A and B are shown apart, each in its own frame.
Chain A
C-alpha cells in the first residue's frame, strides 16, 4: 500500500515516476477558481529543479526517505563530505546535488542526510540557522536607495540583507530556504 501526502515543503514525493523533494510550496488563488499550490521540486537523483502547480488538496505518493542527523566535514574538490552522526559513516555528495545549501555550510554544520534505500542522496538544512556576522557596512541613516536594509557577510561567506542596526560580531537567524534575515539571535 502506498501513502499519499498533501503538498508541502520538505516532503519527498513521487512525481512523474521520479523521487522529488518539495523545496517550496506557495499558495496561488485565481480568485474565480479554486485554490492551487505552486511547488518547486528538486529531483533527488539529478538535482533538476522544476515548478509545477497542483490543485490544492491534491495528494502525491510519498517516497520513503530516511532522515539522519549528519555534519558537514570538508570539500576536497571532488565533492562535499559529510558524516552520519549515529553511524559515523562518511559520504560525499556532488556540488550539483546540494547547490542551494552550499552557501550555508561551514565546518561541523549540523544538517540532515536524506537516504533512499540506504543510499545517501542529498542533505537538508534546518529551516532557520544562526550565523555570526563577519562583516557589516555601517548603516547610513536616511539611505533611501537601500530601503532601510544593508548587506552583511556571514561566517560562511554568504551575503544576507539585514536591518541597518546589525553589527559585525552579531549572531543573526537566517531562513535557509530563501536566504532572508529572520531576527537577531
Chain B
C-alpha cells in the first residue's frame, strides 16, 4: 500500500534536512550512482554492471590495443565517501550529499533495503566530536518543538536533550562482558577470554568476527534505549578510512550513533595521510581476496586528493530511511519507502 501521509512527512523532513545544512554553511554536492572504482570495504558487496562501449569510444588504457574492450565493469556506489573526499581535496570546504547507495545481499529484516538513501557530510578543520554535535543539532532541528525533548518510538520514550551519552567500545566490552579489549588484542587471547565468559565464538575466523558476535549478542541488545548513544573509538581494523588515535593506535577515531537500538550513523576523523591510506587499502584488498570477493583497484585520484587536504576533517554517513523510521514511528524500513525491494520480490 502506498502511504501518502507518511510520504508527506518524509518529503517535509527531507526539506528540513536541506535547510539545516544550508543554514550551517554546507554546500550540497551530487556524486554519481555508478562508479568505476567502488569503496574497498571488505564486507560490502557492490552491485556490478557493465558499460557498453560503442565502437567510436576507446579508453586510454586500450588506445594502442587492436582488440578494443567492448565493455567495462561499473559498480553502484556503496557510499559516496571517495568522491566526497576528492572534493575536499579540491577545496570545496564543508559539503553534504543526499544520495542513493546500494549494497548487494543486504535484505531480510526491518532495517535493510539493498538500495537506500544516505545523508553524508564532511566538515573541514574538525574532528569526529564536532560531528557528534552536528547529529544532536540536526535531529533536534527535525523533531521541532516537543515537550521536554521526549520522542516516542514504538512505545519507547527517548530523551533527546543534549549532550547525548558517549561510550567507547572498550568501555562497553568492560561494562557488559568484563572484557578489556586492550588486554586481548590477539585472536587467540580474545577467543580464550570469550570462552571463559561462556560466549559463543562459533564460526569466528578473525578478531573482528569475535568482536561483532559478542557485540551483537551481549552488548547491542542491552544498550540503554531511553537516550541516544554515541559508541566511539572502534578497533582500527574496523575503520580503514579513519585516523588512528594518537594515544592508542589500536583504536581509530570512529563513532556510531544508536537511537532506540537502531544504528543510525557512522563517522570518522578522516585519515588524510595518503601513504598510510594506501597501506590500509592494500590490507583491505588482501582481505577481499581472502574472502573470495572482487578485488578493486586503488583509486589513485582519491589518494592524490587526500594529499591536498591541508586541515584535519571529519565525515559522517547517516541512514536517512532509518532516521525517518524513528521520526515517523515506523517499525520497518519498508514503511518509509514507496517501493521497498522486498515488496517487488513478493510480486514475482
Residues of A near any B CB (own CB < 8 A) = 25-36, 38, 51-55, 57-58, 143-144, 146-149, 163, 181-182
Contact = CB atoms under 8 A, between A and B. Distances in A.
A55 B203 contact: yes
A55 B217 CA distance: 11
A26 B110 CA distance: 8
A148 B6 contact: yes
B54 interface: no
Contacts of A32: 41, 43, 208, 234, 238-239, 266
B216 to A, nearest CB: 4
Interface in B1-50: 1, 3-6, 41, 43-44
Nearest to B201: A55
Contacts of B44: 31
Contacts of A148: 1, 3-6
Report the 9 A-B pairs with minimum CB-CB distance, sorted nearest first.
A26-B109, A27-B108, A32-B238, A53-B216, A33-B212, A58-B203, A163-B1, A55-B203, A148-B3
A28 B216 contact: yes
Contacts of B130: none
Nearest to A27: B108
B301 interface: no
Contacts of B193: none
B204 A55 contact: yes
B215 A30 contact: yes
Given A26-B109, A38-B216, A147-B6, A33 B43 contact: yes
Interface in B278-321: 291
Given A27-B106, A58-B202, A148-B5, A35 B43 contact: yes
Contacts of B208: 32-34
A36 B221 contact: no
A126 to B, nearest CB: 15
A55 B315 CA distance: 29
A57 to B, nearest CB: 7
Contacts, number: 86
B106 A33 contact: no
B291 to A, nearest CB: 8
B203 A57 contact: yes
Interface string B206-248: 0011011101110001000000000000100011000000000
Nearest to B200: A52
Contacts of B263: 30-31
A147 B109 contact: no
A148 B328 CA distance: 13
B253 to A, nearest CB: 14
Given A53-B216, A55-B203, A29 B43 contact: yes
A54 B203 CA distance: 9
A31 B266 contact: yes
B212 A34 contact: yes
Contacts of A53: 213, 216-217
14 contacts: A25-B108, A27-B108, A30-B263, A32-B208, A34-B43, A34-B209, A53-B213, A53-B216, A55-B202, A55-B203, A55-B213, A146-B5, A148-B4, A149-B3
B149 to A, nearest CB: 22
A35 B209 contact: no
B112 interface: yes
B105 interface: yes
Contacts of A182: 346
A182 B347 CA distance: 11
B209 A33 contact: yes
Contacts of B200: 52
A30 B4 contact: no
B57 interface: no
A51 B107 contact: no
A147 B203 contact: no
Contact of A30 (B105, B110, B212): B212
B109 A31 contact: no
A35 B105 contact: yes
A144 B249 CA distance: 51
